[in-house]
Amino acid sequence: MAGLNCGVTRALLGVLLLGAARLPRGAEASEIALPPGSGITVLIKPGTPTLPVKPCYIIFSKKPTTMLFIKSGERKAFSFSCQNPENHFIVEIQKNIDCMSGPCPFGEVHLQPPASMLPTLNRTFTWDVQAHKSIGLELQFSTPRLRQIGPGDSCPDGVTHSISGRIDATAVRIGTFCSNGTVSRIKMQGGVQMALHLPWFHNRNISGFSIANRSSIKRLCIIESVFEGEGSATLMSANYPDGFPEDELMTWQFVIPAHLRASVSFLHFNVSNCEKKEERVEYYIPGSTTNPEVFRLADKQPGNMAGSFNLSLQGCDQDAQNPGILRLKFQVLVQHPQNESNVTYVVDLSNERAMSLTIEPRPIKLSRKFVPGCFVCLESRICSTNLTLTHGSKHKITFLCNDLTRLWMNAEKTISCMDHRYCHRKSYFLQVPRDILQLPVQLHDFSWKLLVPKDRLSLALVPAQKLQQHTQERICNTSFSYLVASTGPGQDLYFGSFCSGGSIEKIQVKQNMSVTLRTFAPSFQQEVSRQGLTVSFTPYFKEEGVFTVTPDTKSKVYLRTPNWERGLPSLSSVSWNISVPHDQVACLTFTKEQTGLVCQTGRAFMIVQEQRTRAEEIFSLEEVLPKPGFRHHSFWVNISNCSPLSGKQLDLLFQVSLTPRTVDLTIVLIAVVGGGALLLFALGLVICLVKKKKKKINKGPAVGIYNGNINTQMPMQPKKLQKVRKDSESHVYAVIDDTMVYGHLLQDSNGSFVQPETDTYRPFQGPTGDCPPSPPPTCSRAPTAKLTTEEPSPGCSPESESEPYTFSHPKMENGSNENTDIPLLDAPKPAEPGE
């Protein structure tokens, strides 16, 4: 056993000699001597290496070690085996100050031992002051004052101050602080521990604080924060982010010049589960008649306070089984009063229903420099960075802000009607209340949420001036626009952004709808007053949306399917009702040749239907889109989607342009010449027939036949475009040619005249199509087909069908005023049934 110990001793001595022989140059020896009775201890121990490095040792008494402890009254010399010991070791210096058995050494605190005696390592000086719990101790910090930082934060220069207190035998963290702040004094009750952390490269030789004796403060601590001008301070409760001690009281004193204004904002807080008392914050505000003013942590905190004030956090008796956590992080902002702070604005929402208004900061990039805050104050005292006003009340607000353009407003109003019998055809005018427009803050969004009973009613949006849809080809450059969307169970459909100066006269939505007025410039107030929107409840229809469009003759109209970014939802259908003036021709053009759509189930179709003739053209959207085509009458465009494969969404953009209707002069000339030749031929044929009949009849004087039932007055000119002659006697003659004597030969056996069958013209009397074309069933659709149909569209009433131009055979009844004209040519005999 003795031989083993001797071997180990020899090996250790060999390592020591080898290390001494390889001792790098520049590794100088250090010596620390602590005076006896000073209460100071020094500990050199390994730090936390940041990178893998070679081992380093402390060489003390020619022996390598990793830790060295020096007590009061001792002197020790040592060195390091490496040239960069700051990467391996730290030094901790602690001084115990006993204020319980004797007087406390009040006054400035010095760094002992001095920096020249300590090795170049990261240093931590700790002063542990023990005092009776009825004695108050005050830490006074010289300039620059301290700034509190949160857990995990670091100071720019690496110098930090950590302050803790005691509640009986339990340590309580007051906070960690950097330099260049507002904290000037911290008062503690019953002892304090102060730690100063200095990096190895920092040559600081003073502590920067002093200790003073104070009477009992009867609370955990008091932190004093001094503002000499504009600025802000962020402060935290004790033990943050852990829980504040149970049933304790902590106070912050803010010293502020009287000409400045202060506002408090709670950045983060939690409340515990209280059995007794209630957690709260208390304000002592000079000049207030209600001191202290008590608020819950969830309340809006005071603002626009002139001069100094105190803020206290009071805990409660917590539930032993489920105590919870009380913690608070808040900010105090001090700035000069603004002109707007003296102006009170009244926002009257007492007559509004289901409406709210929020005033909040615009999203901006944060700056390291101090930026005065923007606060909205209710009744001039309750201030916060954002404020929400609700309907049913009259509100008085002021602004504490150096630049009101840093704020904006967002409002929301709900209009609902759930009784379809009462709501049918009822309309509302969407307008921003005047009290909102008179505020000195720009309105960003005003949203109307329109709710209807499911499958009972739909909505129609009619603008005072026609709208333009925002597209890449035609961008809205107005000071405001409307964002229109429909909301349904599990599906939101964004119809697009619309502005004034377009061709869209109406937007119809199947279900619930939201309309958002979004502004881009303060001048929108003048423009929006001329625009206006009216929403009405209409009978329910099954399409997702219907657009009524009347194109402008001077510009193209660009239209695109809803949900442009994500694609038209599966199995949904949208239609456009496009009107074409009688003197114009419309050109329908698609901006791309193919949609790139691939259907997983079902088929995707586009139907183009002329409203006058009901002629339909059906195109498959999985194939090539139709080339530009001309439409001479108003028409429908219906797009119906399938269930597409993932990533293959349907989005279509098309344009409609109008050109004047032109007539081909060659066709007109041919028609005139042909009509004239036909007329000459007919006259010649009539003359020939008359001459042949005169040769067969004995010549004699003209015979006059008296008819007592005729009107002896000269026949009047028939009215223009008169289509029925039974009301006119222009076909009755007072004197007729002798050939008409043989008119009795045309009578039948019953003595009545035989009426030849002739086609009569019936004018178009029905309205144009008000319902979009319904897509045919998926199984009957052809990829590309053209057809003409006279069948009514499903979902449309028969009365709404367009009546085509037809010729019919009228039935004559006995006793009626029949047309007795003799045809020039014999009418063909109608075919008998069955032939």
More confident residue, 760 or 141: 141
Give yes or no for residue 327 having a pLDDT over 60.
Answer: yes
Identify the bridge partners of residue 808 per DSSP, sorted by sequence position: 760
Q: What is the pLDDT of residue 749?
A: 45
Domains, the chain: 550-663 (2.60.120.290)
Give yes or no for residue 526 having a pLDDT over 90.
Answer: no
Measured between alpha carbons, how far is 377 from 302 in angstroms, rounded to an integer? 8
Identify the bridge partners of residue 251 per DSSP, sorted by sequence position: 222, 312
Q: Flag the least confident range among 41-50, 171-180, 217-226, 729-738.
A: 729-738
In this structure, what is the dihedral angle of CA atoms 144, 145, 151, 157, given to the nearest 10 degrees?
A: 10
Q: What is the pLDDT of residue 202?
A: 87
**Interval 796-810 mean pLDDT:** 35
Beta strands in 53-191 (DSSP E): 58-60, 63-65, 68-70, 75-80, 89-98, 107-108, 122-130, 136-141, 146-149, 160-167, 170-179, 183-189
Measured between alpha carbons, how far is 355 from 393 in angstroms, rounded to an integer? 11
Give yes or no for residue 797 having a pLDDT over 60.
Answer: no
Q: CB-based contacts of 325: which residues, under 8 Å, 6+ apart?
A: 242, 243, 244, 270, 272
**Interval 377-402 mean pLDDT:** 86
Residue 371 CB neighbour total at 10 angstroms: 16
Tell me what percent of the residues of the chain surpass a pLDDT of 90.
Answer: 45
Q: Scanning the structure block, which residue is given the tokens 């100050």?
A: 97
- pLDDT tens digits along 611-663: 988 889 999 999 999 999 999 999 999 999 999 987 778 899 999 999 998 75
Q: What is the pLDDT of residue 143?
A: 79
More confident residue, 231 or 719: 231
Q: What is the pLDDT of residue 263?
A: 87
In this structure, what is the dihedral angle of CA atoms 743, 745, 751, 757, given to the nearest 10 degrees?
A: -80
Q: What is the pLDDT of residue 769?
A: 52
Query: Any idea what DSSP says for residue 406?
Result: G
8 A C-beta contact, residue 46 and residue 80: no
**Is the bond leading into 463 cis (omega within 30 degrees of zero)?**
no
Q: How confident is the model at residue 768 (pLDDT cuts 50, 70, 90)?
A: very low
8 A C-beta contact, residue 87 and residue 53: yes
Q: Residues of 551-561 as b/e, b for ≥16 C-beta within 10 angstroms?
A: beeeeebbbbb
**Interval 578-585 mean pLDDT:** 92
Which one-letter amino acid corresponds to residue 20? A
8 A C-beta contact, residue 746 and residue 753: yes
More confident residue, 2 or 95: 95
**Strand, helix or coil for residue 483:** strand
Tell me what percent of the residues of the chain surpass a pLDDT of 70.
Answer: 77
Q: Flag the least confident range among 5-9, 52-56, 610-614, 768-772.
A: 5-9
Polymer length in residues for the chain? 835
- pLDDT tens digits along 246-279: 999 999 999 999 888 888 889 999 999 999 889 9
Q: What is the pLDDT of residue 708?
A: 46
Q: CB-based contacts of 473: which residues, under 8 Å, 6+ apart?
A: 558, 591, 653, 655
Give yes or no for residue 288 having a pLDDT over 90.
Answer: no
Measured between alpha carbons, how far is 336 from 6 in angstroms, rounded to an integer? 80
Q: What is the pLDDT of residue 134?
A: 82
**Interval 453-457 mean pLDDT:** 89
User: Highest-confidence range of 380-394, 439-453, 523-537, 680-694, by mean pLDDT?
Assistant: 439-453
- pLDDT tens digits along 354-368: 999 999 998 876 555
Positive or negative torsion for Cα 172, 177, 181, 184: positive
H helices of 605-753, in order, are 665-695
Q: Scanning the structure block, which residue is given the tokens 């066709």?
A: 667
Q: Flag the least confident range among 70-79, 336-345, 411-420, 704-713.
A: 704-713
Work out the burial of residue 459: count CB atoms within 10 Å of its CB; fewer than 13 is exposed, 13-18 middle, 19 or more buried. Answer: buried
Beta strands in 452-604 (DSSP E): 457-463, 467-469, 480-488, 491-500, 504-509, 513-519, 533-539, 545-549, 557-560, 573-578, 584-590, 599-601
**Strand, helix or coil for residue 594:** strand
Q: What is the pLDDT of residue 759?
A: 39
| Chain mean pLDDT for the chain | 79
State phi, psi for 748 to the nearest 5 degrees. -90, -170
**Interval 557-570 mean pLDDT:** 90
Measured between alpha carbons, how far is 302 from 281 in angstroms, rounded to an integer? 11
Write out the two tokens for 290: 């209600």
Q: What is the pLDDT of residue 815?
A: 40
More confident residue, 411 or 131: 411
Give yes or no for residue 607 having a pLDDT over 70.
Answer: yes
Write out the two tokens for 8: 């180990």
Q: How confident is the model at residue 755 (pLDDT cuts 50, 70, 90)?
A: very low
Q: What is the pLDDT of residue 142?
A: 85
Q: How confident is the model at residue 669 (pLDDT cuts 50, 70, 90)?
A: low
Q: What is the pLDDT of residue 165?
A: 92
Write out the two tokens for 736: 């007729």
Does the global pTM surpass 0.95? no
Write out the two tokens for 6: 């001797």
- With vertex at residue 173, the alpha carbon angle to CA 172 and CA 176, rounded to the nearest 5 degrees, is 170
Measured between alpha carbons, how far is 379 from 302 in angstroms, rounded to an integer? 10
Measured between alpha carbons, how far is 586 from 578 in angstroms, rounded to an integer? 9
Measured between alpha carbons, how far is 457 from 465 in angstroms, rounded to an integer? 25
Q: Flag the least confident range among 270-274, 458-462, 493-497, 643-647.
A: 643-647
**Interval 26-44 mean pLDDT:** 85
Measured between alpha carbons, how far is 522 from 529 in angstroms, rounded to an integer? 13
8 A C-beta contact, residue 110 and residue 207: yes
CA distances from 808 to 293, 311, 588, 797 (A): 92, 95, 36, 24
Q: How confident is the model at residue 242 (pLDDT cuts 50, 70, 90)?
A: very high
Q: What is the pLDDT of residue 746?
A: 43
Q: How far is CA 715 from the centre of its chain?
A: 76
**Interval 563-569 mean pLDDT:** 88
Closest CA to 175 of 143, 153, 157, 156: 153
Measured between alpha carbons, how far is 283 from 290 in angstroms, rounded to an integer? 10
Give yes or no for residue 44 having a pLDDT over 90.
Answer: yes
